[in-house]
Amino acid sequence: MSEIEVTLPDGSVLSVPEGSTVEDVAYEIGPGLGSDTVAGVVDGDLVDKATPVHDGADLVIVTDGSEEYLRVLRHSAAHVFAQALLRLHPDAKLTIGPSTDDGFYYDVTNVDLDREDLDDIEEEMADIVAEDYDIERFERSREEAFDVYEDNPYKQDILETEAADEDPVSFYRQAEFEDLCQGPHVESTGEIGAFKLLNISSAYWRGDEENDQLTRVYGTAFEEEGDLADFLEMREEAAERDHRKIGKEMDLFSIAKDTGPGLPLYHPNGKRILDELADYAKDLNLDAGYDPVETPHLFRTELWKKSGHYDNYVDDMFLLDVNDEEYGLKPMNCPGHATIFDQHAWSYRDLPVRYFEDGKVYRKEQRGELSGLSRVWSFTIDDGHLFVRPDQIEAEINLIIDNILTVFETFDLDADVALATRPEKSVGSDEIWEQAESQLRAVLDDGDIDYDVEEGDGAFYGPKIDFGFEDALGRKWDGPTVQLDFNMPERFDLTYTGEDNEEHRPVMIHRALYGSYERFFMVLVEHFKGKFPLWLAPEQVRILPVSDDNVEYAESVAAELGDFRVEVEDRDMTVGRKIRAAHDDRVPYMLIVGGNEESAGTVSVRDRKERESNDVELEAFRRHLEAERAEKRTEPDFVDEA
């Protein structure tokens, strides 16, 4: 029998007989590992342990101690949910039920469910887990599979798409329940130590709003009850931090149903925060030698065809006809910046040329995928595009990375860095992509920056360095990006005159410091729980007169602090209620002014951490505010008594 070779996580190469499965390879390594094998990861894909490996495969063996094990367990929990659902609602139809980062979901139809139903299903799931049914893989011919699902068009659709080339087809069975599935799964239902059904929502089949609307049930599962308890506590905290909830409480933004989906409206409080973010980014850009530009919201589609966006983004673009000409709202700002560069003649001495723009862009996401500010139709990118000589690439990217890390430090965020390589849908030659990817690797390696590699996650025109970050709850978010582009300068025939008096092609670098204002704004709302740093807070100081007799003095204090966002609380309330209201509104500082303060020309300071300082000189407090604002501190500092 001929041999094949597989590469293990430590880089070693193992020869095994051709036709070996993941489990066979595990037994080749050792009988203990073989018996513990639950699944495998082959070339990055999680697969059943019965999956054959191919020559040259990268293989990771998954056991109950592996990082991927939880995904396997949660997939099995989705099947337990489906089994319990059908026991209680036999007429329900199943569609798909994958694991997710937080648990699992199953999309179903032909059944109406509410929270009480979920409680009943949970009880049935507990019985199924207690019975510890074996979860067994078996196969059917395609013809048999279609017969099984003769009244389920969704499963038939899966057979005709994802499983189009399979015969026989993979199924999994536990007791009376069976499901069309690629797996992998744990050995038995009893391995699911703890689970919870979380909520119900609607979803469209295949995520397409033109398709049938389904009922989606979300759940989660863990090996231990303690892990589930920690998750539910974190989830409750996340609900308290939800930017949609806080946005309403603080009057930051809204997304009105009658104005269109995914089109946020920023109220004065939210706009003040956005303006501060924009001013900060503008200062960083100007200090780094960028020039501001502005481009319109739409162009003739000839521009998008020239840039390659039309072929790669047309399904996500808003298109309209104007006088028999087709226009498109811009999904990106880069073609406009390339056009500006093309309006001039450039020498090698002029480069790098750096443009920046807070550019509004539009992408037609499926309505079922829209969610608060995290995914919208209209958003603003703090875009920057650089046109550089090849010998300037490393220095410019290093400067960009320094600016991005400065932003992270300002907001007390930890960076996760990844190199995203060529996607399946892309433009440009293999040589161009290899050159671009190797240069980004060199920058990261030379800078001693830890990074992961995200295969196939680059932009269609070039590879990129992605920066993610964790918020206060440890959740990870996508953030800024740096993209190296050899393709757009070629497509736009951009040139500069070199030292040899010949025309040369510049390299284009795409970068953003925030990513998009909407996503970054959302993260900051939840990260700070609405308790914004002083420099960002829509209301920075609230003055609380003890009585009506002190309102005039309160107004004079507000005038003295006119460089800050200050409000006087003149409603007819007790001081205690005024303090509670300011605390609920997350105002960084409260100044309490009564007869004593008015006589002395001072203020009593209280911050939102409930620290107090009495008889503070107003000028001393102003200097304190100015220093805190200038240093962009993330938390208010204690104000010493004067």
Residue 567's Cα: distance from chain center in Å? 35
DSSP summary character for residue 343: T
Q: Known binding site: residues?
A: 334, 385, 510
Q: Known binding site for Zn(2+): residues?
A: 334, 385, 510
Query: How many whole angstroms separate alpha carbon 478 and alpha carbon 420?
Result: 13
Query: How many whole angstroms separate alpha carbon 255 and alpha carbon 247?
Result: 11
Res 160 pLDDT > 70:
yes
Residues 177-202 have pLDDT tens digits of 999 999 899 999 999 999 999 999 98
- Given pLDDT bands bounded at 50, 70 and 90, which one contains residue 368? low
User: Residue 170 in 3-state DSSP?
Assistant: strand
Res 369 pLDDT > 80:
no
* pLDDT score, position 637: 74
Q: Which residues pair with 58 in a beta bridge?
A: 7
Q: How many other CB atoms sit within 10 Å of the CB of residue 10?
A: 5
* pLDDT score, position 1: 65
Res 536 pLDDT > 90:
yes
Residues of the chain with CATH 3.40.50.800: 541-630
128-143 burial, b at 16+ Cβ within 10 Å, e below that, comes to bbeeebebebeebebe
Give kind and range of the element (H or E) at residue 266: strand 265-266
User: Residue 53 in 3-state DSSP?
Assistant: coil
* pLDDT score, position 566: 97
Please state the φ and ψ torsions of residue 473, each to the nearest 5 degrees.
Answer: -95, 5
Mean local confidence (pLDDT), 497-517: 94
CATH class, range 265-294+346-527? alpha beta
- Given pLDDT bands bounded at 50, 70 and 90, which one contains residue 641? low
User: Residue 60 in 3-state DSSP?
Assistant: strand
Options 3.90.400.10, 3.30.930.10, 3.40.50.800, 3.10.20.30; CATH for 541-630 is 3.40.50.800
Measured CA to CA in angstroms, residue 109 lies from 86, 96, 97, 219, 315 at distances of 11, 11, 12, 17, 28
Residues 100-156 have pLDDT tens digits of 989 999 999 999 999 899 999 999 999 999 999 999 999 999 999 999 999 999 999
Structure tokens at 554: 């309160």
Res 46 pLDDT > 80:
yes
Residues of the chain with CATH 3.30.930.10: 265-294+346-527
- Given pLDDT bands bounded at 50, 70 and 90, which one contains residue 223? very high
Residue with tokens 């929270």: 115
Residues 609-629 have pLDDT tens digits of 889 999 999 999 999 999 999
- Given pLDDT bands bounded at 50, 70 and 90, which one contains residue 537? very high
Res 484 pLDDT > 60:
yes
User: Residue 306 in 3-state DSSP?
Assistant: helix
Q: How many other CB atoms sit within 10 Å of the CB of residue 183?
A: 21
- Given pLDDT bands bounded at 50, 70 and 90, which one contains residue 87? very high
Structure tokens at 627: 């220093």
Query: How many whole angstroms separate alpha carbon 533 and alpha carbon 528?
Result: 8
Residues of the chain with CATH 3.10.20.30: 3-62
Res 479 pLDDT > 90:
no
Res 432 pLDDT > 90:
no
DSSP summary character for residue 501: S
Mean local confidence (pLDDT), 223-228: 94
Please indicate whether residue 424 or residue 75 has the higher confidence score (pLDDT).
Answer: 75
In CATH terms, the superfamily for domain 70-241 is Threonyl-trna Synthetase; Chain A, domain 2 (3.30.980.10)
- Given pLDDT bands bounded at 50, 70 and 90, which one contains residue 80? very high
Structure tokens at 42: 């082959």
What amino acid occupies position 90?
Answer: P
Res 642 pLDDT > 60:
no
Residues 6+ apart with CB under 8 A from 574: none
Residues 6+ apart with CB under 8 A from 267: 251, 252, 253, 254
Q: How many other CB atoms sit within 10 Å of the CB of residue 321?
A: 8
Residues of the chain with CATH 3.30.980.10: 70-241
In CATH terms, the fold of domain 3-62 is Ubiquitin-like (UB roll) (3.10.20)
DSSP summary character for residue 636: P
Contact indicator for 507, 484 with CB cutoff of 8 Å:
yes
Contact indicator for 20, 29 with CB cutoff of 8 Å:
no
Measured CA to CA in angstroms, residue 557 lies from 438, 543, 563, 564, 592 at distances of 59, 8, 12, 11, 11
Give kind and range of the element (H or E) at residue 213: strand 213-222
Residues 266-292 have pLDDT tens digits of 999 999 999 999 999 999 999 999 999
